[in-house]
Structure 1
Amino acid sequence: MNQYRMPVVWSPATRDHDPRNEVWVGVATTGTEVAARVDAILAAVTGAGHPVTEAATHPDDVLARVHEPSMLTFLAEAAERWRQGPYADLVGQTRVVPYLFTTPAMTAGLPTRKAVAIHAEAGSYVYDTMTLVGPGTWEAARAAVDCALTATDLVLAGERAAYALCRPPGHHATPAGFGGSCYLNNAAVAAEALRAGGHDRVAVIDIDAHQGNGTAAIFYDRADVLYGSVHVDPGAGWFPHVVGYADETGARAGAGATRNVPLPEGTGDAPWLEAVGGLADWVVAEGCSGLVVSLGVDAAADDPESPLLVTADAYRAAGTVLGGVGLPAVVVQEGGYHLPTLGGLVAAYLDGHGG
């Protein structure tokens, strides 16, 4: 039996985002979510024989069902507004980075107004200092959405599965906020598109090293899209720090439709694969007819963001497990930052999913 070669969707525009730095604990550090990630993955998946196609342009309809309009407008305009400001001359900063966060601790119940200065307004949407916006950020993030939607189109047209080479990643983007190197939630968009395409109940299984707080938030009170994640325990001090615990199981109509499986630092292949298998069994038992896989490969041992010790063999096995549930699947790229091994890890998962 010939192995299924999963179609790969990508866009050259996903290279256009260049954050340059991440500001972590007040220090500008070299960014890890770089354009070279696209080329590393593309080389590996084409070398493995997966057919590649460029993303088609899609309207904003599905995107607007995932994110608040004000956030979309801010992201689309932020780089140009920053360029027109004094920041490059004053401090040499060419990227949008907030210095003020309008949290409840700051506003303390007072009536608030929209900030006039973009360096203040930015903190109404971006929730960390690591996720900078520059020329090309909106274009790349929007192209990543088109990758996810084109892959979904292929699945709705009859493909068993399709892989969206999304960059920047998306699973940390919430309805009205962005962070964690994510701007627009590609996996949530794919899930919504599967729903609109006739799937009554869709599951998102997230195997990135960190819980996708954005995807969890978007679907937390809904029963039609399940969200399951296996990730490093945020209680051990890992992003997203304040959410991603096992007792977060959904609310209102979505009660029971969220499942978090936090794992200790240093967890290796066997416990990680057991957790992936448990999520696969769960979505089958819940009667889902479509699947989105948030494929982060930053749980691998060599990854600079890795608190876990997952091998390429385990990613291949995870692909076999999730492909084995028999659901049409859109595989969406999330994290993974060790360029020498990144492409091979993605290819291993795709080969496993294709059986």
Structure 2
Amino acid sequence: MTASSIPVVWSPDTRFHDPKHEIWVGATTPAVEVAERVDTILAALAGSPLRDARAHGDELLAAVHDPELLAFLEGAAEAWTAGGYAELVGQDRVVPYFFPTEALLQGMPPTPAVATHGRVGRWCYDTMTLVGPGTWPAARAAVDVALTAVDVVAAGERTAYALCRPPGHHATRSGYGGSCYLNNAAVAAEGLRRAGHERVAIVDVDAHHGNGTQAIFWQRPDVRYGSVHVDPAAGWFPHLFGHAHETGAGAGEGANLNLPLAEGTGDGPWVEAVERLASWVSGSGASALVVSLGVDAAADDPESPLLVTAEGYRSAGALLGGLGLPAVVVQEGGYHLPSLGGLVAAYLEGHGS
């Protein structure tokens, strides 16, 4: 299999999500997770076989996410519009300002908030991840993209690439954040499990730790999660998670491996970390692989603290593709539009070689 023969699964509905902007440390900043990402990647993968995403039911989605979170996300934009926030304060996107943390609750049983602006912080854990009228259709379409890629692999293809947008690896079972709403990689792993694979491995090469994926499988031995990312102890998102001492809990103890790297790390140590993850997967007994392909570890990326090149991504693809496992490659981050498509293509070239 070559890169150009790897099926590319996509949906035009993933373009619907338009966050418009982000709110970071109280300041409004331009959104970087934009619909143009989809078209840039498609252009770079011209010549690859395209597969349209097929609609799937909610069974696998509900297996990794709290149904109450799903109901909130599906209705959030409509509730926000009905609340009149665009007229009141000029904000037409759903954004939290109030978070029911333990510092507030202090062990007291809370009465659920009634106002929409008081409810959002129960589900969203940052102010960067805004919801608009197209967010749910796009996020739900991205899940269908991931599950269709699972179908393609289950039908006999060695590898399928899921062009998911918005990304998903920061979405936990009961929360969303980090520009992620639904965890596409987690749903893909669950889909591979249901397709007959007793153990599945997820390898995350995004620049930032996939705290959501780790959380979903934290106590499960059947889905292993390994990640290489910038050290959160240096001040990087997701701040609280992604440290080397996090190895899982309960039945999942030892099924989690984090390899944090210092800011400014380039190809050499980064590829060595991917090689270590590949070796870990090889010894895990996994019979299928999910790759969370974030390409925001590249030097030109606006979100990047790392200095990985296209050649580094090609090497990573060769290492993970060299495992010979059925694989679903799920798109995560990557925000520098001029280089985005080429970086994805480089990874797939390596994986398919």
TM-score range, shorter chain: over 0.9
Which residue in the other structure is 1:8 paired with? 8
**How many angstroms does 1:2 deviate by?**
6.3
- 1:243 maps to which of 217, 241, 244: 241
Following the alignment from structure 1 to structure 2, what is the Cα–Cα distance between the partners of residues 286 and 89? 55
Which residue in the other structure is 1:303 paired with? 301
SS at match of 1:270: helix
Q: Deviations over 1:117-171 (max 9, x none)?
A: 1111000000000000010100000000000000000001110000000000000
Following the alignment from structure 2 to structure 1, what is the Cα–Cα distance between the partners of residues 73 and 350? 36
Which residue in the other structure is 1:257 paired with? 255
- 2:310 is equivalent to residue 281 of structure 1: no
Contact kept? 1:267, 1:309, Cα under 8 Å: yes
SS at match of 1:98: coil
Contact kept? 1:5, 1:351, Cα under 8 Å: no
Q: Deviations over 1:92-119 (max 9, x none)?
A: 1000001100111111111112110111
Following the alignment from structure 2 to structure 1, what is the Cα–Cα distance between the partners of residues 179 and 233? 21
Following the alignment from structure 2 to structure 1, what is the Cα–Cα distance between the partners of residues 267 and 39? 27
Following the alignment from structure 2 to structure 1, what is the Cα–Cα distance between the partners of residues 307 and 206? 12
Contact kept? 1:71, 1:125, Cα under 8 Å: yes
Which residue in the other structure is 1:348 paired with? 346
Q: TM-score, normalised by structure 1?
A: 0.98
Q: Deviations over 1:233-276 (max 9, x none)?
A: 00000000011000000000000000000000000001000000
Contact kept? 2:4, 2:49, Cα under 8 Å: no
- Within 5 A, what are the aligned runs for 1:115-134? 115-134=113-132
SS at match of 1:102: coil
Misfit runs of 4+, over 3 Å: 1-4
Following the alignment from structure 2 to structure 1, what is the Cα–Cα distance between the partners of residues 335 and 225? 24
**How many angstroms does 1:3 deviate by?**
6.1
Contact kept? 1:168, 1:183, Cα under 8 Å: yes
SS at match of 1:336: coil
Contact kept? 2:3, 2:48, Cα under 8 Å: no
SS at match of 1:200: coil
Which residue in the other structure is 2:61 paired with? 63
**How many angstroms does 1:86 deviate by?**
2.0
Which residue in the other structure is 2:207 paired with? 209
Following the alignment from structure 1 to structure 2, what is the Cα–Cα distance between the partners of residues 2 and 14? 26
Following the alignment from structure 1 to structure 2, what is the Cα–Cα distance between the partners of residues 259 and 43? 34
Give the letter aligned to residue 183 of structure 1.
Answer: Y
SS at match of 1:275: helix
Following the alignment from structure 2 to structure 1, what is the Cα–Cα distance between the partners of residues 234 and 207? 13
Matched length: 353
Following the alignment from structure 1 to structure 2, what is the Cα–Cα distance between the partners of residues 79 and 306? 30
- 1:110 maps to which of 108, 124, 129: 108
**How many angstroms does 1:290 deviate by?**
0.4
Q: TM-score, normalised by structure 2?
A: 0.99
- 2:85 is equivalent to residue 87 of structure 1: yes
SS at match of 1:332: strand
Give the letter aligned to residue 228 of structure 1.
Answer: G
Q: Deviations over 1:255-310 (max 9, x none)?
A: 00000000000000010000001001101101100000000000000000000000
Contact kept? 2:2, 2:349, Cα under 8 Å: no
Question: Alignment RMSD, CA only?
Answer: 0.9
- 2:155 is equivalent to residue 157 of structure 1: yes
Runs of 5+ consecutive residues of structure 2 not aligned to the other structure: none
Contact kept? 2:211, 2:238, Cα under 8 Å: yes
- 2:331 maps to which of 330, 333, 337: 333
